[in-house]
């Protein structure tokens, strides 16, 4: 039986999801308008590429069982920078780039009940804290 509290075959291998999620913050040097989330794909793609610097979305993506992080942006008091997800240690996570199967994306015909950005990533099926 697999322990769903760990990420076995993803970029940040062997890290406890709770540890990763608790390390998520936002870069205080960025203005709110600079903290964006981008979702994109091309016609031949089987995966959607996602980039986010919004803490609430990063936390949900890290918990999503189909999300595969490729690189993360970290923040310390002295520097920020992108690194391969496998090189992550203990810094604050303030950005993520990765992908998710295109089948996991759905644009609904009606609006959600709230306009919270993190609600774009469903809580259904997320690995629990």
pTM: 0.79
List strand residue ranges (DSSP E) for the chain, in order: 37-40, 47-52, 68-75, 80-84, 92-101
Q: What is the pLDDT along the chain (129 residues), one digit of tens a residue?
A: 333 443 434 555 446 778 888 899 999 889 999 999 999 999 999 999 999 999 999 999 998 989 998 988 988 877 788 888 777 777 889 999 999 999 888 887 888 787 777 777 776 655 555
């Amino acid at each position: 039986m697999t322990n769903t509290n760990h990420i076995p075959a993803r970029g940040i291998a062997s890290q406890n999801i709770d540890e990763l999620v608790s390390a998520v913050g936002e870069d205080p040097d960025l203005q709110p308008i600079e903290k964006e989330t981008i979702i994109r794909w091309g016609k031949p793609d089987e995966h959607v590429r996602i980039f986010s610097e919004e803490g609430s979305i990063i936390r949900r993506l890290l918990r999503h069982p189909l999300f595969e992080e490729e690189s993360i942006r970290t923040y310390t008091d002295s520097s920020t920078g992108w690194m391969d997800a496998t090189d992550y240690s203990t810094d604050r996570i303030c950005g993520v780039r990765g992908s998710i199967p295109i089948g996991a994306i759905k644009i609904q015909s009606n609006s959600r009940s709230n306009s919270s950005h993190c609600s774009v990533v469903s809580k259904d099926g997320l690995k629990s804290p």
